[in-house]
Amino acid sequence: MLKKSTLQFIKDLEANNNRPWFEEHKADYLKAKENVGELVEAVKELLNQTDVIEFGRTYRIYRDVRFSKNKTPYKNFIGGYFRRMGAERRGSYIFRIDAQGLSVGGGFYGPNKEDLLRIRKELEMDGELFKAAITAPTFYNTYGEMLGEKVKTSPRGFDKTHPHIDVIRHKQFYFSKTFTKKESLSAKLPTMVAETYQNIRPFFDYMSNVLTTDLNGESLL
């Protein structure tokens, strides 16, 4: 589904990240973008067999350099996400394509302070269900360890000796899996991606339940 030319364009862009080169190769970029769009539509169709997807979207390739020391104008990857439909379905599926191939995953990259506190309070009260979800064999064999920024010791108001402080410390909660270049160029890629996304659902289901209820388990919707 992904074409070699798409990965080659990203590789070439990484080596020539400037406006004159990009403008000269704009047609190649548009072809790569179209190819990624085809993958997005194929994966969305498969995801909708087990979930409800509002849309799949590709991020702009143009970087916002206003507040960055890195002034290169373009990203050296093509990324995007699938947004789930409805307030009861939390978490987004994400993807990133660079010159080496495709990485996919999902989670919570920037929870607002209310959601972050709610998650931490749940983990403080009972972190065993969360840990059971992310260490289950199918899940762990797909994604491995949880990723994301953490505070150095413990969040304000939480005991640094709490048995689940390792997850309470997180400010972000997400997972990622990288496909090899060969896998990324396989005709079976949409199916492999959809199956990989499906394996993250126990984590999404846990978080959705937490973020749509209060600490007494009463629905907030």
The 10s digit of each residue's pLDDT in 62-102 is: 999 888 889 999 999 999 999 999 999 999 999 999 999 99
Residue 221 covered by a domain: no
Residue 175 covered by a domain: yes
Q: Kindly report the CATH number assigned to the domain that includes residue 114.
A: 3.30.930
The 10s digit of each residue's pLDDT in 92-123 is: 999 999 999 999 999 999 999 999 999 999 99
How many separate domains does the chain show?
1
User: What pLDDT score was predicted for residue 21?
Assistant: 98
**The pTM is what?**
0.93
Residue 176 covered by a domain: yes
Residue 216 covered by a domain: no
User: What pLDDT score was predicted for residue 67?
Assistant: 86
Per-residue DSSP letters for the chain? Answer: ---HHHHHHHHHHHHS-SHHHHHHTHHHHHHHHHHHHHHHHHHHHHHTTTS-EEEEEEPPSB---TT-S---SB-SSEEEEEEESSTT---EEEEEEETTEEEEEEEESS--HHHHHHHHHHHHH--HHHHHHHHSHHHHHHH-S-B--B-SS--TTS-TT-TTHHHHTBS-EEEEEE--HHHHTSTTHHHHHHHHHHTTHHHHHHHHHHHTB-TT--B--
Residue 219 covered by a domain: no
Above 90 in pLDDT, residue 124? Answer: yes
The 10s digit of each residue's pLDDT in 132-190 is: 999 999 999 999 999 999 999 999 999 999 999 999 999 999 999 999 999 999 999 99
Instruction: Find the domain containing 156 and state its range.
Output: 4-211
